[in-house]
Amino acid sequence: MASSHPLVCVFLKLPPSHQSVWGIYEIAWIVFLPQLVRLNNAIEATQATHPATEVKKIWSEARARASYKMAALQSVSITCNDIALGFLAFLHTLRTGRGKDEIYRAFLTSTRGAFNLAGIAQAAMLDFREDIRIVVGRIITILSSEGKNITTFTTESSQSLLELATGVEECNAILEEYREAIIEAQRQSLDENDNPPSEEEFLMVQEKWQAYKVIAEPTQYDWPQLKDAVIGDEDYDGPAMSSSDLAESTLPSDFLKSHRFSFWRKFFQRISSAFQC
């Protein structure tokens, strides 16, 4: 009769949360892009009655910088796949005994790179938040100095800045959780003699890393399309769709089935239980 007690990992390390991959991607599409579009629409509405060449220029430059910041998140998502491949290769060497030292060192090297890139992405998100805040403030200053009524724009921009700030906070929380998971993975021992994994532990951990590798497959996530959309319509070569349409077309289909437009309710629910031994 099978034991009802949960399996305890005594040797092998578990993968990071799936949020380290799809969580930051979802925030980029469902929070960052829509709020940038919202700000853009508010600016265009103001420009229709109170045109100001300088406003258009500084906003265009801000969107270009924002697109660059999204590239930092893309780099993190790629590292998720890298460390999954590295750990699975390490598991393979535990079975074969061939090249274990080399594979182990390669895995640790990949985790160090992933840890650093996640930190860079956190800083990029803070810069992104601050840059948009400063640019919106400059636009308000320019328009108000001309005695124009910008009450609607001020209200819209304030709400968008709040949404962006919340998104950045949650994104950085996910990135910090990812960095903590990397630190834990780096504690993976090379020596099996002290606490050799049972067959059940080996198979369970292998299955979880394989599932993480599938989730982290780079081809599932269209970061280039996101970056083009962030820049704006004039530079965007993709289909003419709204930000929500773009999000739905580029998020993985399995992801959409369980997360369709329920971001703020479901996103914060942790799935850590799926990663407990």
Q: Give the model's confidence band at 239: pLDDT under 50 very low, under 70 low, under 90 confident, else very high.
A: very low
- Mean pLDDT of the residues in the chain: 82
Q: Distance between alpha carbon 55 and the CA centroid of its chain, in Å?
A: 30
CB 243 within 8 A of CB 235: no
275 vs 89, more confident: 89
Residue 6 is predicted with a pLDDT of 53
Token duo for residue 238: 């993709």
Taking CA atoms, 23 is separated from 143, 178, 232, 264, in Å, by 37, 11, 23, 12
78 vs 235, more confident: 78
What number is the average pLDDT over the span 109-134? 97
Taking CA atoms, 82 is separated from 15, 68, 107, 134, 221, in Å, by 12, 22, 9, 36, 15
Token duo for residue 215: 């989730």
One-letter amino acid identity for 14?
A: L
Query: What distance in Å separates the CA atoms of residue 155 and residue 102, rounded to the nearest whole number?
Result: 57
pLDDT at residue 57 greater than cutoff 60: yes
Domain ranges of the chain: 19-189+206-253
Token duo for residue 127: 């810069």
Q: Give the model's confidence band at 267: pLDDT under 50 very low, under 70 low, under 90 confident, else very high.
A: very low
Q: Give the model's confidence band at 23: pLDDT under 50 very low, under 70 low, under 90 confident, else very high.
A: very high
145 vs 206, more confident: 206
132 vs 148, more confident: 132
CB 213 within 8 A of CB 81: yes
User: Does residue 165 come out as left (phi exceeding 0), alpha (psi in the -120 to 50 range) or beta?
Assistant: alpha
* DSSP of 67-86: HHHHHHHHHHHHHHHHHHHH
Q: Which of 173, 255, 193, 258 is nearest to 222 (CA)?
A: 255
Lowest-pLDDT choice from 50-59, 198-207, 227-236: 227-236
What number is the average pLDDT over the span 235-256? 44
Share of the chain above pLDDT 90, in %: 60
